[in-house]
Structure 1
Amino acid sequence: MKMLKIAAAVSSLAIMTGCASIVGEKEQTVTINSTPSNAEVMITDERSLQVHSGQTPTTVQLKKSDGSYFGGKSYTVEISKNGYESRTMMINATPNGWYIGGNLIFGGLIGWLIVDPLTGSMYNLSPDTLNTTLGESVATSDQGNSEITLVLLEDVPAEFKEDMQYIGKI
């Protein structure tokens, strides 16, 4: 009788779990690198809430689910540095192999439709490493637009003339 109760308890637990929930995590590590380094990083989620700010290179832990039924997270990553063009990239949650294949083989409908979608472990964030080049250094206006202003040498203020360098022949 005691063995029957133990077997029933183990069977109940096996039925009530999903493969991705057993194998997966609710958060994932994402690495962000930039060239040049020491660029500002701001990560916002799908509700435009800031979840991280810092400088490259950095590694952050991001949630894979928003806590709702089948609610995968998405993030916007903005990388910027004065004098360089900014970059904006997306990180999205996609179903992982344990959710798709594992529940087909082991977990059944309860894991596929109830347990894994509620825990968020069914997702992987992609990409899990961001490498970006901010491009060449550019002259920017106060509004952040790329611009170059040409002026006559006689119109350059005296305090700026000592910092000027000749490029080519005159």
Structure 2
Amino acid sequence: MKIFLTTACLAATLTMTGCASIFSGSTQTLTFKSVPDTANITITNKSGEKIHTSSTPATVTLKRGNGYFKPAGYEITFSKEGFQTKTVQVKATVNGWYIANIIFGGLIGFLIVDPATGAMYTLSPSDINSVLDPAQLSTTKNKGYQSLTVMLVQDISVDIMKRAKYITTL
């Protein structure tokens, strides 16, 4: 009787769990950094709902799934005054531990537990580092005024650099 009870408990344990739920969980922590620091980040989900706002550097915990067999997806917008806004997509892909359900987790984990909790997905990328480009200055040619725009050499396109003339150095 003890052997039967032990075997039954072991079988129930193997069929009632989900590998991805156990090893990964239904949420994932992502880190956000930017150059320059203290850029504002806004995180919106697939429905367009704003779910988080803060400034960099930041660490945010997001859900992996968006419902039964529905992966989550997020759009992260970096913004700072004087710099161009940059948007990064975070997408969910199938987690390797979800596939392990075929061997260890059984059908319950494969068809019910991991898909329902969202643990079957992994958010990618998990570390988001964004370099914000300086905003382009607007010229006032249309108003009849002359202007001067100072730019770094690396911000000038190759075509314009080919036409540039060397003046002098200090």
TM normalised by structure 2 equals 0.78
Q: What SS does the corresponding residue of 1:14 show, helix, strand or coil?
A: helix
Q: Aligned equivalents of 2:18 and 2:145: distance in 1?
A: 72
Q: Please list, as runs of the form range in 1=range in 2, the aligned pairs for 1:128-147 lying within 5 A after superposition.
A: 128-139=126-137, 147=138
Q: Is the 8 A contact 2:71 2:118 kept in 1?
A: yes
RMSD of the alignment, in Å? 2.5
Q: 1:152 aligns with which of 141, 145, 149?
A: 145
Report the Cα distance in structure 1 between the residues aligned to 2:123 and 2:5, rounded to whole angstroms.
Answer: 40
User: What SS class does the counterpart of residue 71 from structure 2 fall into?
Assistant: coil
Query: Equivalent residue for 1:14?
Result: 14
Deviation at 1:14, TM superposition (A): 1.4
Q: Where does residue 24 of structure 1 map in the other structure? A: 24
1:97 maps to which residue?
96
What is the correspondence of 1:89-128 to structure 2 with a 5 Å cutoff?
A: 89-100=88-99, 102-128=100-126
State the 1:95 CA deviation.
0.7
Cα separation, 2, equivalents of 1:76 and 1:138 = 24
Separation in 2, partners of 1:110, 1:152: 72
Structure 1 runs of 4+ aligned residues shifted over 3 Å read: 150-153
Q: Quote how far apart the aligned CAs of 1:2 are.
A: 4.7
Segment of structure 1 superposing worse, 123-132 or 113-122: 113-122
Q: Quick check: 1:35 aligned with 2:28?
A: no
Q: Distance in 2 between matches of 1:62 and 1:96?
A: 15
Match of 1:60 in 2: 60
Deviation digits for residues 7-46 of structure 1 (CA, Å, limit 9, x no counterpart): 3133212111121122111111111111111111100001
The count of residues paired between Structure 1 and Structure 2 equals 149
Gapped runs of 5+ residues in structure 1? 140-146, 154-163
- Matches of 1:105 and 1:14, distance apart in 2: 9
In 2, the alpha carbon distance for the partners of 1:106 and 1:20 equals 11
In structure 2, runs of 5+ residues without a counterpart are 149-166
Percent of residue pairs identical: 42
Contact 2:32-2:129 at 8 Å conserved across structures: yes
What's 1:142 paired with? Answer: none
Moved more, 18-27 or 77-86: 18-27
